[in-house]
Every structure is written in C-alpha cells, then in structure tokens.
Structure 1
Amino acid sequence: MASINFRTDERAQRALDELTADGSTVSTAIRQALVDAARLRRREKMRYESAALLDDDADRAESRAVLDVMDDLRAR
C-alpha cells in the first residue's frame, strides 16, 4: 500500500481532530474519510443523473412502455 504525506491547513486539522477524537488513529480517520468522500461523490453523481432523466421525455416514455408490458405479462 502507498504511504502518503500531506500538510493540513487549519480547516483540515480541525476536521482531523474531530475524526480522531474517539481515539481513532490519523491513518484510520483519513482512510475512512476517503472512502466516505468517494461514496458521497458517487451518490451525488447518481442524484445528478437521476435528475437529468426526470427531464428526459423519451426516457420517461420508454419507462412507461416497459411498465405497460410488465403489467400485461403480470395479468396473464
């Protein structure tokens, strides 16, 4: 695994202090913060893509058509 060095600024140091206040090591806190940040970025991307699909008339029409077919299959 890679070893990374970085310098904190005041804001980052306050955040790091908060994340290690429970006794977590700096390394553990930083690893978890990176995982959390990546997860948040993925969620934001999905939220953006979902909002874009809501404005896509063709996609909504296709979704309705698929639901209609599924309803027909379920009724049999």
Structure 2
Amino acid sequence: MGTLNVRTDDAMEKALVELTAARHSSRSEAVRYALLQTYKQLLLQQANADAQRLADDPDDQAEMLAIQRFMGVA
C-alpha cells in the first residue's frame, strides 16, 4: 500500500472533521472513502455518457431493433 501526503486548506480541514465525525473514522479512512466515492461517481458519469451516446446513435438503435426482432421481442 502506498502513502500519500496531502496539503489541506481550511475547507479541506472542515471536510475532514465532518467526514471523520460522521463515519467515526480516521483522517486516512475519510480520505480513502472520499477518493473512492469520487472515483465511483466518475465511473457512473462515464457509463451514463456512454449509454446516452449509444441511445443517440441511429446505427446502434437499428442493431438493437434487429436483435430484438431476431429474438422475437419486438
């Protein structure tokens, strides 16, 4: 496991105090939690963007319709 040093400002200190109190955790655990939550949000945003891109793609829509017809769903 690696080590990360982070310089904090007043806003970060306040956030750390709130996270550690709310989760009854250490500062390191609060930072890990916040980092993983941010990463999860990024992945969800990327998945949503991909889904929207595919939903807006006429070629993909045609292929999905063809698959549905093949499977007897449409």
In the superposition, the TM-score normalised over structure 2's length comes to 0.86
Cα distance in 2 between the residues matched to 1:68 and 1:10: 59
Q: Percent of aligned pairs with the same residue?
A: 35
In the superposition, the TM-score normalised over structure 1's length comes to 0.84
- Residue 28 of structure 1: aligned partner: 29
Residue 66 of structure 1: CA displacement? 0.4
- Residue 7 of structure 1: aligned partner: 7
User: Structure 2 regions of 5+ residues with no counterpart?
Assistant: none
CA-based RMSD of the aligned residues comes to 1.4
Matched, 1:19 2:12: no
Cα distance in 2 between the residues matched to 1:67 and 1:14: 53
- Count of aligned pairs: 72
User: Structure 1 regions of 5+ residues with no counterpart?
Assistant: none
Larger Rg belongs to: 1
Cα distance in 1 between the residues matched to 2:25 and 2:11: 19
- Residue 50 of structure 2: aligned partner: 49
Q: Which runs of 4+ in 1 moved over 4 A?
A: none
Q: Secondary structure at the match of 2:42?
A: helix
